Structure 1
Amino acid sequence: MNKSEQINELATALAKAQGELENAAKSSDNPHFKSKYADLAEILNTVRPVFSANGLSVSQCPSFEAGIVSVETVLMHRSGQWMSSVISAPVSKQDAQGVGSAITYCRRYSLAAVAGIAQEDDDANSAVGHAPRRQEPQAVPKPKVTTQQVEHLRQAITVAGMSEAEWCASIKIPGLDSLPAEKFGGAMDYIKSQAHAA
């Protein structure tokens, strides 16, 4: 953070302003996350009148270099005292829209921090190109054949004159006990048909 040599008047005015400020309303929708957040306009509408009444003003200067957006936010007091800070964020989509989105995000985030107000930050992911997380459905393991069914399979394979290892390899399972229970009937029918064919 940079600041003027003295910030006593600025600090007094900021303390008074923060006592009057309320958190920005969550008036914008984020369709990706199905949530609301306070956009830049809402934060400006919340901060400007209170800052102005207390002799405070804000200037924000964006820059872009090597895929990084930076915004310097300067808080000034009518006395001439000031303080500033810089926030930076990577731009995932290297076009005008991606840069603009990152600048808006940095301005909103930095202004809220300087003003000392809270905001819902669900649109941050879109600014840096992150898709909303989706919960992957958990795979329910299929029941395997019982010990008794394994013995029936083994006997049928022997009667058919087949090799147990080769038969398991042909249907891509490591062993008879890995066969899903739902496939037991079909497997038995196939093995018996091979026995008749022989």
Structure 2
Amino acid sequence: MGALAETTTHTAIIEQPARAVVTPMEMLDRAVSSGASVETLTQLMNLQERWEANQARKAFDEAMAAVKANMPKIVKSRKVDFTTSKGRTNYQYEDLASIMSQIGPVLSEHGLSVRYRTSAEPNQPITVTCIISHRLGHSEENTLMAGRDDSGNKNSIQAIGSTVTYLQRYTLKAALGLAAAADDDGGKADETPEDAATITEAQASVIRELIEKAKLDTEVFCKRWQIDEVTAVPMSKFNEVVQSLRMRIKALQEKANEEKNNG
């Protein structure tokens, strides 16, 4: 009899339904119904906001993982091939429209969208921020900067547009972790990959100005970055170089302010 009772009790425990998780919104509804104080309601509203933000972040992470698992191969279908006094430039690349046509449907399927924020202040590098957003509200950003592309016969507007498009493409690739393959039917790789390209003259002008503000000798700068001249800075290193110089300038300004205050 004791064993039977024990078994019955054990079975009752197993069959007991699991208690449903109470969300902050349900707690808020109950608090309103019971006439809770304003302070309590405010705390519950803050809790609800944090809960929603956390749920949105989780949904974003899940969507990004799903997108990367189903991402199509990005093909470099555009080609650049010209020769200057510095030698031949020959590489393939994928344009922004091509990338979006390939990945847009995958992003939309998982509730993700892309937008950009751009800044082009006078005498300052152009800054482009790629923002990946989920339909539940969570978003993440990736920012790059570069000087105006005044190569060729571009006017001022075209120079800005060229740089903006370039940065939009690279911030998108960085944000999504995209890699592109050359459209050469399995042939050999590009002779000069885009990642190996050097900065434009406009970008070199930005760096020269920062070198002067940083009170740094150009020879010392070139030795630090293992290059022969400022224009030899790799395109892929531009943002890192600019950030390094700005940090030095900031340190000099802080030191000057400290000496002024102490004096």
> Which residue identity lines up with residue 12 of structure 1 in the other structure?
E
Match for residue 87 of structure 1 among 117, 135, 144: 144
* Secondary structure of the corresponding residue to residue 10 of structure 1: helix
Q: Give, in angstroms, the shift of residue 47 of structure 1.
A: 1.7
Q: Which residue of 1 aligns with 2:33?
A: none
* Secondary structure of the corresponding residue to residue 79 of structure 2: strand
Quick check: 1:28 aligned with 2:89?
A: no
* Secondary structure of the corresponding residue to residue 112 of structure 1: helix
Quick check: 1:78 aligned with 2:135?
A: yes
Asked if 2 retains the 8 angstrom alpha-carbon contact of 1:30 and 1:123, the reply is no
Q: Distance in 2 between matches of 1:85 and 1:30?
A: 26
Asked if 2 retains the 8 angstrom alpha-carbon contact of 1:105 and 1:124, the reply is no
Any unmatched runs of 5+ in structure 2? Answer: 1-51, 83-88, 182-192, 204-231, 233-263
What pairs with 1:116-127 in structure 2 (closer than 5 Å)? 116-119=177-180, 122=194, 125=197
Match for residue 126 of structure 2 among 63, 69, 73: 69
Q: Distance in 2 between matches of 1:82 and 1:108?
A: 18
Q: Give, in angstroms, the shift of residue 35 of structure 1.
A: 2.6
Q: Give, in angstroms, the shift of residue 67 of structure 1.
A: 3.3
Aligned length: 129
> Which residue identity lines up with residue 79 of structure 2 in the other structure?
D
Asked if 1 retains the 8 angstrom alpha-carbon contact of 2:149 and 2:162, the reply is no
Q: Which residue of 1 aligns with 2:228?
A: none
Q: Distance in 2 between matches of 1:78 and 1:10?
A: 9
Q: Give, in angstroms, the shift of residue 10 of structure 1.
A: 0.3
Q: TM-score, normalised by structure 1?
A: 0.57
Q: Deviations over 1:140-188 (max 9, x none)?
A: xxxxxxxxxxxxxxxxxxxxxxxxxxxxxxxxxxxxxxxxxxxxxxxxx
User: Which is worse superposed, 85-94 or 54-63?
Assistant: 85-94
**Using a 3 Å threshold, how does the CA distance of structure 1 residues 49 and 76 change in structure 2: closer, same or farther?**
same
Larger Rg: 1
Asked if 2 retains the 8 angstrom alpha-carbon contact of 1:68 and 1:91, the reply is yes
Asked if 1 retains the 8 angstrom alpha-carbon contact of 2:78 and 2:93, the reply is yes
Q: Which residue of 2 aligns with 1:37?
A: 93
Asked if 1 retains the 8 angstrom alpha-carbon contact of 2:149 and 2:200, the reply is yes
Moved over 6 A (4+): none
Q: Identify the structure with bigger relative contact order (alpha carbons < 8 Å, sequence gap 6+).
A: 1
Q: Distance in 2 between matches of 1:91 and 1:11?
A: 35
Structure 1 or 2: more helix by fraction: 2
Any unmatched runs of 5+ in structure 1? Answer: 134-198
Quick check: 1:50 aligned with 2:106?
A: yes
Q: Give, in angstroms, the shift of residue 90 of structure 1.
A: 1.8
In angstroms, what is the RMSD of aligned CA positions?
A: 2.8
